[in-house]
């Protein structure tokens, strides 16, 4: 299974949301995600693309529990960074 993380980034992080007020929050999320460390960004992009934790673990050569930990950690990191940004 060969995955192009560049393709996933382009698909999920370069969506043009236009200039409406409702899209401002989405743009903030995209910016926060782009600032994640590369290994966390890969996990998040794979989840967004529909991969299971087991599939991600196999692709990245790590355990399922490591992927689960990373997903939970990513959620917390995104929330904390968004809270800072939106204040």
What would the pLDDT profile of 3-51 be if each residue is shown by its tens digit?
665 666 666 555 565 555 555 567 777 788 888 899 999 999 899 889 9
Q: How many CB atoms lie within 10 A of CB 39?
A: 11
Tell me the domain boundaries of the chain: 5-86
Element (H, E) at 9: helix 5-13
CATH of domain 5-86: 1.10.10.10
**Top-confidence residue, 12 or 87:** 87
Alpha helices in the chain (DSSP H): 5-13, 24-34, 38-48, 53-60, 64-86
**Top-confidence residue, 25 or 84:** 84
pLDDT confidence of residue 39:
92
Tokens of 59: 């692709």
pTM of the entire predicted model: 0.71
Residues 60-66 have a mean pLDDT of 96
């Amino acid at each position: 299974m060969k995955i192009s993380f560049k393709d996933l980034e382009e698909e999920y992080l370069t969506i043009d949301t236009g200039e409406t007020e409702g899209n401002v929050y989405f743009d903030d999320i995209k910016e926060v995600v782009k600032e994640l460390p590369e290994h966390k960004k890969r996990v998040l992009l794979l989840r967004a693309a529909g991969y299971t934790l087991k599939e991600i673990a196999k692709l990245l050569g790590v355990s399922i529990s490591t992927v689960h930990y990373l997903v939970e950690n990513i959620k917390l990191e995104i929330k904390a960074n968004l809270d800072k940004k939106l204040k």
